[in-house]
Structure 1
């Protein structure tokens, strides 16, 4: 039986983990006699992870991977032969570029890998002592000239020095352990001492769990490196300490009881955060998943403690953290941070998760293992770009993947129901899924960053967390709808769902001439906390961002506000030359149902008097695709074409992809529709992207407000896969807007029996038969059998309790979550919800008339 996430995470709460890891240190001494055998197991397992085994590499499915390993090594050796002065490899100059130094170690690793990978075919690289010695000589050169002197190193990005280089070196030391012992026996110890010295954000050359750099995926990377180093040096204490440190990443983050002040990791609702405030499941999250699964494989069969329940926790990450944000093999934009601007994104991100799930399934049992294997097959069958096993890290994983695909006992099946609603309130994100589509919403707050910019990536990110949405349609190649080309072709001010002032902003390199704001005197260095807070990933200044979930239905609300940098500049806390931008204001709601997503906006205004654009949707299509736009005006006449008009509904169809989206305009100003062909270079969003011109048809439907206009309200519905007949039917229902103000926003769907409301201010608010106390998100559904279900949450995460009165016939409690109280009151039934320390979680109750 597959455990729920709550059950899985309760297996090892944070306090229990921190208590359990202590004995590892004591065991280091008592195990000394048998440690040599354990070290050999770790070395053998690591070789299997990266180079494969004789059995795995004899499989025909692994041949392409072995060929790639071999050809890559030969290319690196040629580059080594052609290197010029100041280079170990041709065209990779060393001395001032930390990325090139990391790349040089990566190239050495790739050569070393080819020399130890078993294979059925003869290769002059396999076991070649001369080639292995060239790698070792390369290590000596890099250490003696560019790495060993710590007073000259540590320029550029801290990650390269503390994690990136160490990852490559540690693996080389394992792969070439015997060759090093025969040729340069002192080199491993020399390198490990240097790697310890470069761990400057640690403590005495080791992990410091109180360091903001040693959290989440970064901590997993560092500790895996140190496990490998300990195996090479046969240092049991190093291994035990590294394992103990890595075990802390398995603990669920409790925002009300933080350990070491760390907010990075997985939360009870499946959210994943890195960098303290960035929603990052699709980047750092997948890296963490891959690393901990690799560690499980490396430690397998050794004498080191492995609690089987940890596998269950990682499976919980997959079920509740990863599966909801992967749609038909595509990793959603809302959890990729600056990775949205990369050319290899989406399907490639999901493939990395698949490899980890392949390996994880080998450690699960029973129905859990079956579910994981079925998910691997489901991703492959639904993806427009199925995972290429040749891109997997491990040859062993490729063989296991082939076995899973051939296993008829595990049917292809998603880990989440086709009809589901997931409120990732801990990271201000929402995913709503139905057969045929998935809707992903990005919010932000004083808790969660509006966006991530860093290292010249994601150059125009300003509105990514201001209600930007992504509507993924089933059967579509998502590279034609989203990914880097969406952000390249669509102006940053007109991303789908965004309300933005009409202005032109400049990127960080344009503003300051560097990839960051450089002002050491005021605390701004490349990786300083000030840089993080105001440049790389600024949070919002609003606290209202969250929503409720009732079964497969959901509501979300957001009060849009300025970011932390703008607020700090107004307070005089930032230098005069630091540039900030002011946001537009709006109060927004999203009500996510079956056939439609209803969007309300009120108080849409610019405090600075600028014009404002609220984009209902933006979509891209290839220039060769036939895009058709049809619509009807509110007076019943046919719409004549692009421009501004009082539309009742609009239908966008991309005949090339076989997809369509409908828009029903429930209230507000007439929208403006445009369809233009745009050509831009992918470098507009990421400096290191190839300078490749991208041409796209860009469709946009938006509501425009003049400069100095009065606050406006807007109401519309997105209808995925809509036909014209379906869109016409909305003239007679079933949707109606009950309220759309800055105090309360609410809708009714008569066909579903649903009333959903978001309230934003203090006092009593009314929406249909609901009366709501203060700020809240509430969904009520009346079922045909006479029962009424109600869900509520605190989107501010600051309230101890909230109450909702359901007017009409008095009802009794059928069932209710802990912390929910139902009682009769004059004129109806009052439901009180205890929301203290719930962190946005929804509470539900089922009622029935007395």
Structure 2
């Protein structure tokens, strides 16, 4: 399976200090020489690449005596000396706590052992560690590499446990360590290590773009091959690595990889722009930099797709320096990796990639980074000791070189290929996670993310103005109620750890998931079916500036379990006493307090935001202290109890409801008075329909009409002959109609708008104009399977 038992590729590699590339890389290489196609060349170019890879691993351009580097380097030295003191080569282990022969954990322990050797080598090579140039330390590294080679990682061993350790985790760390310690190793030692890598990562590992050799995994395999080629001075290996990258570049329409709409999928069914996406941009940024200007430079024109992914795929999910968890897969359950660390690491990779981008791209990306750094909450990015020295130095250089700080964007972005959406108001960011027969409810595997059951059932995560960005990074995942993910409608039927199966096996048999957007507004919907339950519902979200209108209808189940629609599940931190006010009444901040409101019109949580219930709603409120452990959701986590306080708001539909519904407006970052005023303004946004056949709103002052048609139907002057999402925005005698067919069957969908239209100004080629005049008739052309199509018309 894809990663080590109880841990992640990131745990090993981050612990080893590997991260971003050097700040001041000498990218110019000697001109290509005759004979470059031979299996082995003169050592000059190989040596240049080896030294460059060393810089990529260790970082350059930083002052070891200045912070945050001084503290980071000192900690590196301490870790290295601890590893040296406890290293005890024996049959079946290099460290007593990392046995190599246990079938269940041996392969992961092998990677962990190589990780400790990498730490020791870095402490020897880096300045300011207290062990810089320590001959005893680097000699122990050589002995450790030899011991692991003799005991487990050699040409005679048959792989067991996790394939990733044998083909990616261990060889990456082995090769990086050998590059750092190169001058202290003999030719015989290097030959042994290279032969072992050749055994476990043969050329055939990248012969076919399938299985475990796709997307981020393929990038990692190419990284291993390229480093092996550099270390062993084998031109063919480097050329193979370069050429084997090419299948990673083009957009895909199914399976793993980047999609034209900005989606990134790994493991076939999982939205993975974070985590595996981080691995991919890390590997590609390094390999582009390593090979730039050399005989093996990456010149495939499709590499531009990777450069474009910075703004199309990665940036939309980075909020003030954190990577939204909706695209972090099972990594949300990892104790050592939170959304902030993931985001900051990806920012460093973007800075690395910028070194080989155009001047315009480089300036834009550095401005993005500076904006994220300036707005980052909690621990400042440039002082985050969890980042490697190389990453810290690279981010510092990017910020210093940025022409300006890019402001936070506003508006929606939809990612239909991975059932995700993002919306930003002027003071908040939100992400929406859905699932369908194309995208899993959640991913669990290797004992990770055992209770992520409902994270793909319409989870609406948000970060509001006036609230620190640690809502989900401050021990949310081990302490939150897994049945009460914000925004979801769920049956509280008890589920088993890993319910539904591992590696994306848990997928609903639904097709209607997606929506339409015009760059300013959006309408998104999900035909919801419960995980291992009979629950079914139609849920919609309308992104309207600083508001998100949330509708649910047709909520039906027969499991004998209560069904709830969770308005919010706010993490107040370890000691939060944020006030809850409902309809002007401030409630006592008493732990364990459970209130029921028969007809609430609005609610507000101090420091977080407001909630408006347009027609009044029966709302439950619970203030509680919740205790959990990381090990309960990830077998690799600690069993130490963690406690956080929560305020939860939900609509209780009772046991086995039939055609239940809800409606509320989320106002992230709103103040209490603003929330009360909005609740009194019934005309700002009106709910036109909320049924299992159509859900629609209008905002007359904005000239906005939006609807999700679950079947053929009509509302507000709009009519469609099949399932569709429709968004109409009218302004100054012009209108933009944005349409989507979320089921993506390719069947044509016809729309009639009962509004006089003079002419069509512009249209998407996938839109057929059937009539203008007294009304407008459009059709989404047959074969249109993904995304929004737009038509701009002139009104009479």
* Alignment check: 8 A CA contact 2:382 2:396 kept: no
In terms of fraction of residues, the more helix-rich structure is 1
* Alignment check: 8 A CA contact 1:645 1:670 kept: yes
SS in 2 for 1:243: helix
Deviation at 1:32, TM superposition (A): 5.7
Q: Which residue of 1 aligns with 2:436?
A: 445
SS in 1 for 2:566: strand
Q: Which residue of 2 aligns with 1:618?
A: 569
- Residue 541 of structure 1, aligned match among 499, 509, 522: 509
Q: Deviations over 1:303-330 (max 9, x none)?
A: 2133385664333211121111111112
CA gap 1:454/1:150 in 2 versus in 1, 3 angstroms: farther
CA distance in 2, matches of 1:42, 1:703: 61
CA distance in 1, matches of 2:56, 2:257: 25
Count of paired positions: 752
SS in 2 for 1:43: helix
CA distance in 1, matches of 2:639, 2:382: 26
SS in 1 for 2:274: helix
Q: Which residue of 1 aligns with 2:463?
A: 472
SS in 2 for 1:670: strand
* Alignment check: 8 A CA contact 1:355 1:392 kept: no
CA distance in 1, matches of 2:560, 2:702: 41
Deviation at 1:816, TM superposition (A): 1.6
CA distance in 2, matches of 1:827, 1:419: 35
Q: Give structure 1 regions of 4+ aligned residues with deviation exceeding 6 angstroms.
A: 26-29, 637-641
1:766 aligns with 2:727: no
CA distance in 2, matches of 1:122, 1:760: 62
- Residue 644 of structure 1, aligned match among 596, 621, 626: 596
SS in 1 for 2:421: strand
Deviation at 1:404, TM superposition (A): 3.4
Compute the TM-score of the two structures, normalised by the length of structure 2. 0.88
1:316 aligns with 2:308: yes
CA distance in 1, matches of 2:735, 2:433: 30
Structure 1, 428-437 or 396-405: larger mean CA deviation: 396-405
Q: Which residue of 2 aligns with 1:405?
A: 399
Q: Which residue of 2 aligns with 1:740?
A: 690
CA gap 1:265/1:681 in 2 versus in 1, 3 angstroms: same
Q: Which residue of 2 aligns with 1:605?
A: 556
Deviation at 1:552, TM superposition (A): 1.6
Q: Which residue of 1 aligns with 2:16?
A: none
- Residue 674 of structure 1, aligned match among 622, 632, 635: 622
* Alignment check: 8 A CA contact 1:311 1:360 kept: no
Q: Which residue of 2 aligns with 1:824?
A: 771
SS in 1 for 2:111: helix
CA gap 1:775/1:702 in 2 versus in 1, 3 angstroms: same
Q: Deviations over 1:776-800 (max 9, x none)?
A: 11100111x1111110111011133
CA distance in 2, matches of 1:545, 1:425: 8
Structure 2, unpaired ranges of 5+: 1-32
CA distance in 2, matches of 1:626, 1:142: 53
Instruction: Give the aligned CA root-mean-square deviation in angstroms.
Output: 2.8
Q: Which residue of 1 aligns with 2:15?
A: none
CA distance in 1, matches of 2:380, 2:612: 35
- Residue 844 of structure 1, aligned match among 771, 790, 794: 790
CA distance in 2, matches of 1:30, 1:628: 70
Deviation at 1:297, TM superposition (A): 2.0
Q: Which residue of 2 aligns with 1:136?
A: 142
CA distance in 2, matches of 1:69, 1:210: 38
Q: Which residue of 1 aligns with 2:664?
A: 716
Deviation at 1:56, TM superposition (A): 4.9
- Residue 632 of structure 1, aligned match among 571, 575, 583: 583
CA gap 1:412/1:475 in 2 versus in 1, 3 angstroms: farther
* Alignment check: 8 A CA contact 1:612 1:704 kept: yes
Deviation at 1:446, TM superposition (A): 0.7
- Residue 501 of structure 1, aligned match among 472, 491, 496: 491
1:114 aligns with 2:123: yes
Q: Which residue of 2 aligns with 1:776?
A: 724
* Alignment check: 8 A CA contact 1:677 1:696 kept: yes
- Residue 267 of structure 1, aligned match among 253, 259, 262: 259
- Residue 353 of structure 1, aligned match among 346, 354, 376: 346
CA distance in 1, matches of 2:525, 2:446: 32
* Alignment check: 8 A CA contact 2:271 2:418 kept: yes
Q: Which residue of 2 aligns with 1:432?
A: 423
Superposed, which structure 2 residues align to 1:114-193 within 5 Å? 114-117=123-126, 119=127, 125-126=132-133, 128=135, 130-148=136-154, 150-151=156-157, 153-181=158-186, 185-193=187-195
Deviation at 1:455, TM superposition (A): 1.8
Q: Deviations over 1:228-255 (max 9, x none)?
A: 1111222111111111112321222134
Q: Which residue of 2 aligns with 1:813?
A: 760
SS in 2 for 1:671: strand
Q: Deviations over 1:135-188 (max 9, x none)?
A: 22222221222333655x52322211221111111212322333323xxx3333
SS in 2 for 1:403: helix
CA distance in 1, matches of 2:669, 2:58: 46
* Alignment check: 8 A CA contact 1:794 1:802 kept: yes
Q: Which residue of 1 aligns with 2:369?
A: 376
1:803 aligns with 2:750: yes
Deviation at 1:267, TM superposition (A): 0.9
CA distance in 2, matches of 1:497, 1:27: 63
Q: Which residue of 1 aligns with 2:319?
A: 327
CA distance in 1, matches of 2:395, 2:327: 26
Q: Which residue of 1 aligns with 2:205?
A: 206
SS in 1 for 2:655: coil
CA gap 1:232/1:204 in 2 versus in 1, 3 angstroms: closer
CA distance in 1, matches of 2:327, 2:263: 9
